[in-house]
């Protein structure tokens, strides 16, 4: 039977609880958001004793379903002040699922100055005091813990940024190669740091494993699903070959590649940081152009990027990071961007928030435009050291904007706007404005339909159809985020008719239930409404469902487009 593991850091006690019946049909984001909404007072301080940090594997995690190994983390966000769910690959989700752990809930705050670690096994959680690894970066933590507990240990860890409770801090998850994937957005690393937990280790020895109620039905559906993933040109060929970074040239052509802190929609040196160049560079230097973030990923959008000598520099090198440090900061050297990516993983700071932040920092005159080496220096000498400047930078784009009086600060609900200009790709602007998460492209990825012609086409420069597109995608995404699936299954799901029914069949076969497509849509709506209710009670209303003013007054070339939705038009989003 699945269980809830609960840890109270105030008295260092741990409990194993039965799963309340209302939570039984939930997993991933649906479960973390339900638990946060039920148990966290919306007005609490995100770094205080009333916030809770919740981890939950998805409904299909731990089964042989392709791409189902993602872990959701949830809490009240110290960055946005609203609810947060952030999901990541790595090995932890499948281990927790095999242990029958439906959710791990961490609550309370320790009284003294001591730091702790949690160790999760089939018998429960133990809390131990930790001294040795304090102040260490994530790679050193992983190396030390593998030496201490064995290579197979699952690890969730925070770097210096999390220890210092920076609002851009993330939670790192060990991947199958002992490298890092991240619960990136929303400052969840600061929540873990506030609870004075440096790391969580997982040992799945003796795990009961995931029981599938109807194995034959599951197998058939899983095969259909995997075939759809491999048949679709985006998930079957595009993502494995070029990674997500293929988008640099595409967004540049579409005039939606935010450049120089969202001043232009095209970057002169786009070719030097493009997915095509990155692919050729990786192959030439003997790296790995494709790589999965968890066992069972058959898309493999990740990669291993080496330096000129063929030595590892970074992996999981994503478009949003490359765009942000690259075009948005005008850095045209992919090697510098790769070094910065690895440093951000090590320090444990969200690479999207931090990249957007550096664009604002350059606007503020902290660094010259294009100074990749300067970014590396600030990461190492200021942020990782927790100097006063480092703490301002580690607070993200909004923090730097406030500290330095910058007016062009691309954030919604204080979370940095990623990689796609909302003036020239208007659907994603609706997603940024309305998402319960703050500016988050993954929560309703209209780029698929606005730019990539997946799931039809809605003209990115016109207002028509964008609210509906974003709404449909946000509802579907909330449901998919509950399955443990990587969001890239959306590409085949939007185009191949058998894909989504196969996904639902797998859920049905896993639990012996009979969900329909409508039930899944209802689940998505329930999740969005639950999250929104939490936000409203926390003081975040439709007045915050807005883009920063400069988007309405500064036209972005080459289309000279502005953000031109009225408040009423945006508010239509919630009409469901």
Partner 1 sequence: MQITVKLFATFRAGRFAVEPRTYPPGTPIVEVIRELDIPEAQIGMIMLNNRHAEPEQELHEGDNLSLFPLVGGG
DSSP string, 465-507: THHHHHHHHHHHHHHHTTTT--GGGHHHHHH-TTHHHHHHHHH
Give the residue, chosen from 97, 104, 247, 293, that forms a contact with ligand SF4 under the rule CB under 6 A: 293
Q: Which residue has the tokens 């301080």?
A: 45
Asked if 95 and 204 count as a contact pair (C-beta separation under 8 A), the reply is: yes
The CA distance from 483 to 67, in Å, is: 10
Kindly tell me the burial class for residue 147, based on how many C-beta atoms sit within 10 Å of its own C-beta (0-12, 13-18, 19 or more).
Answer: exposed
Site residues for ligand SF4, 482-501, by CB under 6 A, read: 486, 488
The CA distance from 32 to 40, in Å, is: 11
Asked if 334 and 317 count as a contact pair (C-beta separation under 8 A), the reply is: no
Asked if 89 interacts with ligand SF4 (CB under 6 A), we say yes
The CA distance from 188 to 83, in Å, is: 11
Least CB distance to ligand SF4 at residue 301 (A): 3
The CA distance from 357 to 391, in Å, is: 12
Residues of the shown chain interacting with partner 1 in the complex, contacts defined by CB under 8 A:
233-234, 237-239, 241-247, 249-250, 253-255, 271, 275-276, 301, 318-319, 441-442, 445, 447-448, 451-454, 457, 459-461, 487-488, 491, 558-559
Q: Tokens for 77? A: 């966000």
Give the residue, chosen from 228, 297, 437, 452, that forms a contact with ligand SF4 under the rule CB under 6 A: 297
Report the DSSP pairing between strands 415-416 and 302-306: unpaired
Least CB distance to ligand SF4 at residue 226 (A): 13
- By beta-carbon proximity to ligand SF4, the closer residue of 486 and 499 is 486
From the list partner 1, ligand SF4, none, partner contacted by residue 454 (C-beta under 5 to 8 A by kind): partner 1
- By beta-carbon proximity to ligand SF4, the closer residue of 432 and 488 is 488
Give the residue, chosen from 153, 201, 300, 354, that forms a contact with ligand SF4 under the rule CB under 6 A: 300
- By beta-carbon proximity to ligand SF4, the closer residue of 255 and 292 is 292
Residue nearest to ligand SF4 (CB): 486
Q: Determine the interface stretch with ligand SF4 among 117-125, 300-308, 427-435, 458-466 (rule: CB under 6 A).
A: 300-308
The CA distance from 70 to 56, in Å, is: 9
From the list partner 1, ligand SF4, none, partner contacted by residue 300 (C-beta under 5 to 8 A by kind): ligand SF4
Q: How far is CA 509 from the centre of its chain?
A: 28
Which 3 state secondary structure label does DSSP give 239?
Answer: helix
- By beta-carbon proximity to ligand SF4, the closer residue of 293 and 467 is 293
**Please, which residues have CB within 8 angstroms of residue 187's CB and are 6 or more apart in sequence?**
46, 77, 78, 79, 84, 166, 167, 168, 169, 170, 350, 396
From the list partner 1, ligand SF4, none, partner contacted by residue 297 (C-beta under 5 to 8 A by kind): ligand SF4
Asked if 299 interacts with ligand SF4 (CB under 6 A), we say yes
Least CB distance to ligand SF4 at residue 300 (A): 5
Q: What are the residues binding ligand SF4 (CB under 6 A)?
A: 67, 89, 292-294, 297, 299-302, 486, 488
């Amino acid at each position: 039977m699945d269980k809830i593991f609960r840890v109270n850091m105030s008295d260092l006690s741990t409990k194993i609880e039965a799963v309340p019946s209302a939570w039984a049909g939930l997993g991933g984001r649906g479960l973390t958001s339900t638990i946060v909404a039920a148990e966290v007072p919306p007005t609490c301080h995100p770094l205080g004793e009333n916030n809770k940090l919740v981890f939950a594997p998805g409904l299909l995690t731990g089964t042989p379903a392709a791409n189902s190994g993602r872990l959701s983390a949830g809490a009240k966000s110290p960055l946005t002040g609203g609810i947060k769910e952030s999901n990541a690959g790595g090995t932890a989700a499948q281990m927790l699922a095999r242990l029958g752990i439906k959710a791990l809930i961490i609550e309370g705050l320790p009284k003294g100055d001591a730091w702790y670690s949690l160790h999760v096994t089939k018998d429960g959680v133990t809390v131990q005091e930790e001294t040795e690894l304090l102040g260490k970066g994530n790679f050193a933590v992983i190396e030390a813990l593998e030496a201490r507990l064995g290579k197979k240990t699952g690890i969730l860890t925070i770097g210096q940024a999390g220890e210092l409770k920076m609002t851009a801090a993330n939670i790192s998850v060990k991947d199958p190669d002992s490298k890092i994937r991240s619960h990136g957005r929303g400052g969840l690393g600061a929540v873990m740091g506030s609870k004075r937990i440096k790391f969580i280790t997982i040992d799945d020895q003796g795990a009961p494993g995931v029981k599938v109620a109807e194995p034959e039905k599951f197998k058939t559906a899983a095969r259909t699903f995997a075939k759809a993933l491999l048949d679709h040109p985006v998930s079957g060929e595009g993502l494995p070959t070029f990674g997500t970074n293929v988008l640099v040239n595409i967004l540049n052509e579409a005039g939606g590649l935010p450049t120089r802190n969202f001043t232009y929609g095209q970057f002169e040196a786009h070719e030097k940081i493009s997915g095509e160049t990155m692919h050729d560079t990786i192959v030439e230097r003997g790296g790995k152009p494709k790589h999965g973030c968890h066992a069972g990923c058959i898309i493999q959008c990740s990669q291993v990027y080496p330096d000129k000598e063929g030595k590892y520099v970074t992996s999981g090198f994503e478009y949003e990071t490359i765009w942000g440090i690259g075009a948005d900061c005008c850095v045209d050297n992919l090697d510098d961007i790769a070094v910065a990516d690895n440093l951000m993983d090590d320090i444990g700071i969200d690479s999207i928030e931090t990249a957007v932040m550096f664009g604002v920092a350059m606007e503020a005159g902290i660094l010259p435009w294009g100074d990749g080496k300067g970014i590396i220096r600030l990461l190492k000498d200021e942020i990782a050291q927790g100097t006063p400047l480092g703490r301002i930078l580690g607070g993200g784009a909004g923090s730097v904007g406030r500290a330095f009086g910058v007016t062009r600060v691309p954030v919604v609900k204080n979370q940095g706007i990623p990689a796609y200009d909302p003036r020239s790709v208007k659907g994603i602007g609706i997603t940024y404005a309305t998402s319960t998460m703050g500016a988050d492209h993954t929560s309703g990825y209209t780029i698929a339909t606005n730019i990539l012609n997946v799931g039809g086409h809605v003209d990115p420069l016109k207002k028509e159809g964008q609210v509906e597109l974003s709404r449909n995608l946000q509802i579907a995404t909330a449901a998919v985020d509950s399955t443990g699936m990587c969001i890239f299954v959306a590409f085949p799901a939007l185009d191949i008719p058998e894909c989504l029914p196969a996904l639902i069949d797998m859920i049905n076969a896993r639990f012996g239930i009979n969900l329909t497509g409508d039930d899944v849509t209802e689940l998505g709506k329930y999740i969005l409404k639950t999250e929104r209710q939490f936000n409203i009670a926390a003081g975040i209303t439709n007045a915050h469902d807005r883009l920063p003013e400069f988007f309405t007054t500064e036209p972005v070339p080459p289309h000279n487009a502005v953000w031109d939705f009225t408040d009423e038009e945006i508010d239509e989003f919630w009409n469901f």
